């Protein structure tokens, strides 16, 4: 059983602090949506609103079109994986996974069978008799996931699921969670502040800032067509230049800028300084060149004091790029440059301030 989720203009105030300021979000059945934002942006509060652990001040939460704001958490049929996993310390792994079935008063044989199936799903078959404190961090996370899915909930909520894991395990578990989510086909909302995690797992990512959703889109669209400067620099590295509707303005040009061009490091190339092309370019002094395996990362300081980051292919000839030397950068694919128009961006930025 999987459901469609609809959040409509939800407001939440804690004390004197307005944590959510009118959030609307829809997810189709089986979709994986990640809430991405800095800490304090309200993403965990929004997750608690869906779970029923946080009362809604104004607005609506709908599961498959039915209002659930008044429904207590235990009647919402949501599966939650908490940041700490919240495994019950005095129960075995099997009892933990079977707990939602015990709460639903299902018979013992059925409880054991489903717990067994769930543990197989998360690759922990044979661990039912262990206690949670004898498991490693990754195993605990799998148990929490199995427990959240055991009662066949309509929606799965993941609160910073990777926060307690080390980096290598994190990357493995991201793929693993995505596999399980697709196998079960359950609507999923996850919370994270790690953009790589959000992009790996999600169908769509919702960028949150100061209690509002700034942009909800596929990872690719967020990267290529951010709606404002905050989104542009939050996801990956971005170079922002003043621009008009045709593209970035030449350095030092007096013309009024009507927007901001977002040029990703991999879209910048080194131009031959002797033949300045008639297209847009930017000059600067090399600050730092570092080799990162799949690329060289070049940092350039422009005379205006802006730092420009450029990616060079790993086999590029970089002998001339010693710190302090001059270089000129141009745009590799001008048609790919995304311009944030000031008229679009301003109301959103005004809101964010």
Residue 84 in contact with another protein, rule: CB under 8 A: yes
The correct pick among 89, 252, 256, 319 for binding another protein (CB under 8 A) is 89
Q: Site for another protein (CB under 8 A): how many residues?
A: 34
Residue 92 in contact with another protein, rule: CB under 8 A: no
| Least distance in angstroms from the C-beta of 52 to another protein | 7
The correct pick among 70, 102, 172, 336 for binding another protein (CB under 8 A) is 102
Both tokens of 161, joined, read 């699921």
| Least distance in angstroms from the C-beta of 86 to another protein | 4
Q: Are 119 and 111 in contact (CB under 8 A)?
A: no
Residue 83 in contact with another protein, rule: CB under 8 A: yes
What distance in Å separates the CA atoms of residue 323 and residue 16, rounded to the nearest whole number? 50
Q: What is the DSSP letter of 131?
A: -
Q: Which long-range contacts (CB under 8 A, 24 or more apart) does 232-240 make?
A: 232/260, 232/262, 232/340, 234/36, 234/195, 234/207, 235/195, 235/199, 235/207, 236/195, 236/264, 237/264, 237/265, 237/309, 238/262, 238/263, 238/264, 239/263, 239/264, 239/265, 239/268, 239/308, 239/309, 239/310
| Least distance in angstroms from the C-beta of 300 to another protein | 47
Residue 72 in contact with another protein, rule: CB under 8 A: yes
x/- track of binding to another protein for residues 256-295 (CB under 8 A)? ----------------------------------------
**SS3 call for 22:** strand
Residue 61 in contact with another protein, rule: CB under 8 A: no
Cβ distance to another protein smaller for residue 147 or 264: 147
Report how far apart, in Å, the C-alpha atoms of 22 and of each of 25, 205, 233 are: 10, 18, 24
Residue 100 in contact with another protein, rule: CB under 8 A: yes
Residue 19 in contact with another protein, rule: CB under 8 A: no
| b/e burial code for range 125-134 (CB count within 10 A of at least 16 → b) | eebbeeebee
| Least distance in angstroms from the C-beta of 122 to another protein | 16
**166 - beta bridge partners?**
none
Residue 126 in contact with another protein, rule: CB under 8 A: no
| Least distance in angstroms from the C-beta of 162 to another protein | 16
What residues have CB less than 8 Å from 110, skipping those under 6 apart?
Answer: 101
Residue 184 in contact with another protein, rule: CB under 8 A: no
Residue 133 in contact with another protein, rule: CB under 8 A: yes
Residue 99 in contact with another protein, rule: CB under 8 A: yes
From 32-40, 101-109, 166-174, 327-335, give the range in contact with another protein by CB under 8 A: 101-109
**SS3 call for 118:** helix
The correct pick among 147, 204, 210, 212 for binding another protein (CB under 8 A) is 147
Looking only at the bridges linking them, the beta strands covering 307-312 and 259-263 are unpaired
The correct pick among 37, 79, 94, 161 for binding another protein (CB under 8 A) is 79
What are the residues binding another protein (CB under 8 A)?
A: 51-53, 72-80, 82-84, 86, 88-91, 99-100, 102-104, 131, 133-136, 139, 147-148, 151
């Amino acid at each position: 059983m999987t459901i469609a989720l609809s959040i409509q203009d939800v407001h939440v105030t804690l004390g004197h602090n307005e944590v959510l300021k009118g959030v609307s979000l829809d997810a189709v059945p089986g979709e994986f949506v990640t809430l991405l934002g800095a800490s304090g942006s309200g993403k965990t509060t929004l997750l608690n609103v869906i779970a029923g652990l946080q009362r809604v001040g104004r607005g609506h939460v709908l599961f498959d079109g039915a209002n659930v704001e008044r429904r207590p958490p235990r009647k919402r049929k949501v599966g939650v994986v908490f940041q700490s996993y919240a495994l019950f310390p005095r129960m075995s792994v099997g009892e933990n996974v079977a707990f939602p079935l015990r709460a639903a008063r299902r018979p013992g044989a059925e409880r054991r069978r489903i717990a067994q199936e769930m543990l197989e799903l998360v690759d922990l078959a044979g661990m039912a008799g262990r206690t949670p404190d004898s498991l490693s961090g990754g195993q605990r996370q799998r148990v929490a996931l199995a427990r959240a899915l055991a009662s066949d909930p309509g929606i799965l909520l993941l609160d910073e699921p990777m926060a307690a894991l080390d980096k290598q395990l994190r990357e493995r578990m991201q793929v693993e969670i995505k596999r399980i989510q697709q196998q079960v086909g359950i609507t999923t909302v996850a919370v994270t502040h790690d953009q790589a995690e959000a992009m790996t797992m999600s169908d769509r990512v919702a960028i949150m800032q100061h209690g509002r959703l700034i942009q909800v889109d596929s990872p690719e669209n967020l990267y290529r067509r951010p709606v404002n400067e905050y989104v542009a620099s939050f996801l990956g590295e971005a170079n922002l230049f003043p621009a008009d509707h045709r593209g970035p303005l030449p350095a030092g040009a007096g013309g009024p800028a009507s927007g901001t061009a977002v040029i990703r490091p991999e879209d910048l190339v080194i131009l031959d300084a002797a033949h300045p092309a008639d297209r847009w370019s930017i000059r600067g002094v090399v600050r730092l060149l570092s080799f990162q395996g799949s690329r060289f990362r070049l940092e350039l300081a422009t005379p205006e004091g802006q730092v420009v980051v450029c990616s060079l292919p790993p086999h590029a000839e970089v002998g001339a790029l010693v710190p302090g030397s001059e270089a000129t950068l141009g745009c590799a694919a001008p048609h790919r440059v995304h311009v944030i128009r000031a008229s679009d961006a301003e109301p959103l930025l005004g809101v964010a301030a």
